[in-house]
Amino acid sequence: MQRRSFLKKAGLSAMAGSAAVAAPAFAQSNPQIHWKMTSSFTASLPVLFGSAQLFCKMVEEASGGNFSIRPYPGGELVPALGVMDAVGNKTVECGQTASYYYYDQDPAFCFDTAVPFGLNARQMNSWMFEGNGMKLTREMFAPRHIVNFPMGNTGTQMGGWYRKEIGTVADLKGLKMRTAGFAGEVLSRMGVVPQQIVAGDIYPSLEKGTLDAVEFVGPVDDEKLGFNKVAKYYYYPGWWEGCAQVSLYVNDEAYHGLPKPYQALIDMASRHAGVQMLANYDANNPAALRRLVAGGAVLKAFPREVMDAAYSAAHAVYAEFSAKNPLFKKMHDSYMGFRDNVVPWFRVAEGSFDNYMGIVLASRKK
């Protein structure tokens, strides 16, 4: 407005006139900035890596190409699980990852992704954007020189693939299961022997019987690995991941050096890509699950006894960690306080509607 009226007063045509007066504003607000993004994922997990690509596309489009970010799959610039360090020390300006990959550095980081018997995807969004989640996770990652943004969610994951049925808690004793982090900690208290095995070795290990079970993501991603052929029992729910939030990490110096409009683009584009990720999983999991079942997968719910034992084991771990780790306690208390407040409400309108729809559609199927 101001620029326009100035031009009018000066009696210049808008086009020619702007060349003389507007360029410094342009140079300040729309500088050419070109970043790299590293990821913990590759094209073998197309929904996850696709969301990083969508983020970059939206930033570029909305800035008219002046701010571009090029996404690199895990391992190309830095190792897949080295995103936190690479962004923190500005090897790359930003990265896509899941904070619970850094469990070994601090289990408190898991509250930015998933913890056993935690929030579902909607509740997680609510804690992040309307509870204290955003504030507390920002504080948590500040010493790592990271500004974090939620960028998607898988929804509730599956409980994994098992060679034998899990009828009781006793069936977990000695079970060699590929799992890690917080889930591994809780499962080990229930007798499971967590195994760290690189992705390519999982299938042969299950085939040979040196591995009894594996947890991965959900139908869309699990289908590609063919587990149904060697470990047919497909359990649900993945109680250690009622949702799994994916994060965008931006180096703090790089972020604070951006003009405000570009900062707003990062905020919006990360939410945009995040919405797309969950929408994609929700749209494509149903058919993937049907194909898995047609291919021999036997769908099973964890018995109530197993769920209850896991719930108790998880909450014992929470108490232990909270007692010795003040950051963990701070995150835990906010996150679990939010959970205990929101879950009863979700049983009312939302849960009763979902349950009725599930029942009525099943009963009306031929």
215 assigned ligand-binding residue: yes
53 assigned ligand-binding residue: no
CA 255, chain centre distance (Å): 21
61 assigned ligand-binding residue: no
Tell which positions 282-301 bind its own copies, by CB under 8 A.
282-287, 289, 299, 301
Segment contacting its own copies (CB under 8 A): 118-126, 140-148, 222-230, 248-256?
A: 118-126
By CB under 8 A, the count of residues binding its own copies is 100
Residue 14 CB contacts under 8 Å (≥ 6 apart), including other chains? 4, 7
Tell which positions 156-185 bind its own copies, by CB under 8 A.
156-159
Tell which positions 43-72 bind its own copies, by CB under 8 A.
58, 61-65
Q: According to CB under 8 A, which one of 242, 252, 292, 327 is a site residue for its own copies?
A: 242
User: Residue 12 interacts with its own copies (CB under 8 A)?
Assistant: no
Tell which positions 343-362 bind its own copies, by CB under 8 A.
343-358, 360-362
Between the alpha carbon of residue 115 and those of residues 31, 102, 157, 244, 288, the distances in Å are 40, 13, 12, 9, 25
- When the beta carbons of 197 and 269 are compared against its own copies, the nearer one is 269
Binding mask 258-277 for its own copies (x = CB under 8 A): -xxx--xx-xxx-xx-xxx-
Residue 219 to residue 234: CA distance in whole angstroms: 10
Cβ-contact 274, 153 below 8 angstroms: yes
Cα angle, residue 340 at apex, residues 353 and 359 outer, rounded to 5°: 20
Strands of the sheet with 233-236, listed across from one edge = 193-195, 176-178, 213-214, 160-162, 233-236, 298-301
From the CB of 52, what's the least distance to its own copies, in Å? 16
User: Residue 3 interacts with its own copies (CB under 8 A)?
Assistant: yes
From the CB of 181, what's the least distance to its own copies, in Å? 18
Q: According to CB under 8 A, which one of 12, 81, 193, 311 is a site residue for its own copies?
A: 311
Residues tagged in the binding site annotation for substrate: 157, 178, 215, 241
